[in-house]
């Protein structure tokens, strides 16, 4: 299962195209969705569209800039790649660190607290579901706020690693230390001078604890996600266009079990033909309206 995408979802601030405005979900769609979901225990799969209202760009969404994420083998292959990766990732982290959960995240946490949602499988690495109060969260693609040593396996808090990077590379704070390219890429003026953080235990290569392009999702993580879907009676897919294989496999499991599936996403998803109800709208408002119907 080739994992996909999330790696550099953190890397580069990007302007993208101006956001297109989307109509809210219609009453008819909301009624259909709540009819399909009502009285059932619901598993939720979330993707990047979930966090756009928290200011984290959706690189696959409408108007997203084309990107060239670094693969895991490139990252391993040379110190130069790792300098570029860590420098870009450091800028991305500062942005992530300032992001806050939105009402969509909070709605899902409240639905879990009331026993309607049994947990969340997320393709996002931003940690916002946990910060919103969700308890059972399977982070399929890992999490940005943790760093792992590829040699000894030791993990570190990203915030601590970020402090080390800042201390070792004071020039990053200079106004002209980088340039944003038209495709969202970042070019650093002194990249050769960049000091990459290494493991304080063994000196090994550090990598944010997220799944890169060309890297597999850990098996136990996917098993955990499957278990969550299979112990539910319905599935909501929120803010994912399902281009990532793992998302499709979870959808397969749900449809095989004849679970109702409601997809909420701005734009087409690969799962649309199999959705019981597809709502072409943003997640934040739609989830709130749906929750109101499901809890009354
Ligand atoms: Zn180590």
All residue ranges of the chain with pLDDT < 50 are: 1-18, 62-66
Ligand 1 center to 126 CA (angstroms): 24
Ligand 1 center to 214 CA (angstroms): 22
Ligand 1 center to 155 CA (angstroms): 8
Predicted local confidence at residue 6, as pLDDT: 36
Domain assignment present for residue 204? The answer is yes
> Which among 90, 105, 129, 141 is annotated as catalytic?
141
The string of pLDDT tens digits covering residues 178-227 is 776 655 566 777 788 899 999 999 999 999 999 987 888 999 999 999 99
Domain assignment present for residue 31? The answer is yes
Domain assignment present for residue 265? The answer is yes
| Residue 169 structural domain | 26-56+69-295
Domain assignment present for residue 127? The answer is yes
Ligand 1 center to 203 CA (angstroms): 6
Domain assignment present for residue 7? The answer is no
Domain assignment present for residue 20? The answer is no
Query: The domain spanning residue 274 has which CATH number?
Result: 3.40.50.1220
Predicted local confidence at residue 51, as pLDDT: 93
Predicted local confidence at residue 9, as pLDDT: 35
Which residues make Cβ contacts (< 8 Å) with residue 252, sequence separation at least 6? Answer: none
**Does 141 qualify as catalytic in the annotation?**
yes
Ligand 1 center to 27 CA (angstroms): 54
Ligand 1 center to 98 CA (angstroms): 28
Which region, left, alpha or beta, applies to residue 17 given φ > 0 means left and ψ of -120 to 50 means alpha? beta
Domain assignment present for residue 8? The answer is no
């Amino acid at each position: 299962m080739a994992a996909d995408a999330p790696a550099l979802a953190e890397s580069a601030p990007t302007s993208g195209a101006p956001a297109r405005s989307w109509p809210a979900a219609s009453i008819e769609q909301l009624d259909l969705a709540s009819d399909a979901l009502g009285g059932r225990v619901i598993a939720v799969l979330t993707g990047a569209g979930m966090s756009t209202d928290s200011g984290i760009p959706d690189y696959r969404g409408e108007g997203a800039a084309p990107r060239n994420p670094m693969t895991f083998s490139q990252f391993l292959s040379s110190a130069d790649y790792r300098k570029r990766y860590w420098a870009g990732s450091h800028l991305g982290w500062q942005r992530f660190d300032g992001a806050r959960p939105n009402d969509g995240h909070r709605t899902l946490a409240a639905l879990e607290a009331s026993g309607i949602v049994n947990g969340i499988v997320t393709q996002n690495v931003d940690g916002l579901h946990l910060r919103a109060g969700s308890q059972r969260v399977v982070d399929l693609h890992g999490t940005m706020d943790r760093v792992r040593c590829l040699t000894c396996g030791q993990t570190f808090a990203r915030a601590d690693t970020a402090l080390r990077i800042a201390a070792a590379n004071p020039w990053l704070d200079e106004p002209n230390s980088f340039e944003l390219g038209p495709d969202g890429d970042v070019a650093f003026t002194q990249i050769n001078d960049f000091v990459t953080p290494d493991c304080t235990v063994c000196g090994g290569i550090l990598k944010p604890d997220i799944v890169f392009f060309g890297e597999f999702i850990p098996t136990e993580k996917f098993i955990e996600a499957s278990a969550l879907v299979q112990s539910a009676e319905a599935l909501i897919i929120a803010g994912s266009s399902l281009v990532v294989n793992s998302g499709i496999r979870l959808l397969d499991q749900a449809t095989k079990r004849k679970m109702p599936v409601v997809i909420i996403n701005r734009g087409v998803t690969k799962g649309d033909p199999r959705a019981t109800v597809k709502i072409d709208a943003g997640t934040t408002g739609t989830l709130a309206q749906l929750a109101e119907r499901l809890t009354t």
